[in-house]
Amino acid sequence: TQLLEQSPQFLSIQEGENLTVYCNSSSVFSSLQWYRQEPGEGPVLLVTVVTGGEVKKLKRLTFQFGDARKDSSLHITAAQTGDTGLYLCAGADTGTASKLTFGTGTRLQVTL
């Protein structure tokens, strides 16, 4: 069974601070997605990373896929209140791309 552990589970910071969320596994994934989810809504795709060592930047968000494709990180620079939400990483199985293994989730609260 593939598992994705996210850390930290909860993070409460003030606007303007930087933060990093980690997503770790002992399994190899063919790709990894990051989603943000608001309460009662569906997850919204932020990024897909495919290549080991890949780094993608989306404005203040930087995503990295580990060289061995077993782990990933999300770094947010100068957090804003609009970044508040549940962040989920999800790894695609190398055997069956349809099956996503979701991480345990990181709940981020950004306050003024």
Partner 1 sequence: DTEVTQTPKHLVMGMTNKKSLKCEQHMGHRAMYWYKQKAKKPPELMFVYSYEKLSINESVPSRFSPECPNSSLLNLHLHALQPEDSALYLCASSPQGQGYWDTQYFGPGTRLTVL
Binding site for partner 1 (CB under 8 A): 30-31, 33, 35, 40-45, 48, 50, 88, 90, 92, 94, 96-100, 102-105
Q: Least distance from C-beta 8 to partner 1, angstroms? A: 15
CA 60, distance to chain mean position in Å, is 14
Q: Least distance from C-beta 44 to partner 1, angstroms? A: 7
Query: How far lies 7's CA from each of 35, 87, 94, 105, in Å?
Result: 15, 10, 23, 8
Backbone CA torsion sign across 25, 103, 80, 42 = positive
Q: Which is nearer to partner 1, 77 or 107 (CB)?
A: 107
Q: Which is nearer to partner 1, 25 or 31 (CB)?
A: 31
